[in-house]
Chain A
């Protein structure tokens, strides 16, 4: 438990990281360093995209699964680590 907290803190303290959101299986943010509205917005949008991406990957090969998703935009980069490792 403490390990998890430490890791979370370390990730957040890396230079360049704007915010961290932990989302449960339904897409509801359970822990976040951003404000509530932003968290909910990000969580909802990214959850949909992650589901779609996972569906795509598994449609091609059902034994495969999505492990990581990166969205690089002009201003930022969003990284989503899903549970499919």
Chain B
């Protein structure tokens, strides 16, 4: 008698439990098992390196501004330039991920922007300073490849957590650099270099870190649980998609635009604060630059738990309430972030300010994590484009906010912060308009139409011609795996109706 083992002999074995797309259904932080957790560690470390490089200049500005003879206007413009490059780079990165895979896309960008960081060492004027900050800022587009990669490696129940931890620990770089660069500069100066040379040498550290992380991605990384795009495309397991179709389905999805706006007012606010908060504390409370820098660093360092916390919260709410839970939590947390931002601009004492800032940082960073709990479900075919639009929207928000409230002296910094909080609350309201026929929106339940299923939603991105070629297979698997977004109550109803035996024909 033969006992069927039930194990498919052709299935590769994974260290973590996986779903039908071979995406991990568990997130084990302290494992480095290939391919899932290894991709996680590669992506967050490389993103961290890019953040360190992009914000390496602000803590050393007191020396750089004297060396390059910068004015306050030059510094402000360079700050805006550092976050504006990534607006289109993020969108381009999203498309590149859809077409070439996150491994090649992110490693290419990181190695192409590393020269900008190396050239910072030889900057000699306000113009060259602005240019190096502008081109270094392009590397922040690796955020999109990080989120795309995590969404490709981790399944619906844990995708929010994976995205949140990878994004949060990468953003950490913005805080860590405020501590790392002054220390590196100090060591080099103590060895014997003059101030104006020491800061130049110091920039080699983030540049080399960035380059090495890109090599690690190329050598150890992998696009999908089953292998790399190129290999899978050649063996016929993955269809090569067309740029125009991918792009079209991304930009015509209104949910992507709404998320781009709301992300502009959580992540955009975070970037703005990264650029202005040290000066704010220095001027308003007459602190030493060193102390103001430590406070500024603590805002960015909160990312170690707050953004992952947002992702975890999103997954928890989805287990019980599905996509509607994710949307409501995002709206609540981001609006509260806006409220605390208004309060931050109003408080007048140092200790109250620091306390409010920390609470504010937790809410605004959690909102970022919650946003990327929703993004993976907006589109399957154009996941990269949607991620890129949302990520780019974050940078647009940073540029706009700094231009309106923090350039020149129209508003005092504290008024600017309060007004920014009001704008956060207003720009979060559009979340009410997001509606998924199969899951519902914030105010409406799922469509009572029998045809409103996950398959219908994700299949609408493919033409019948393309379906005929079998290009929609992965979307079909994803639709099946995303049924958990109905929440627990509705899920059990669906299961009981599915259990009814088919009538005899």
B and A form one assembly: no
Residues of B within 8 A of A (CB): none
Residues of A within 8 A of B (CB): none
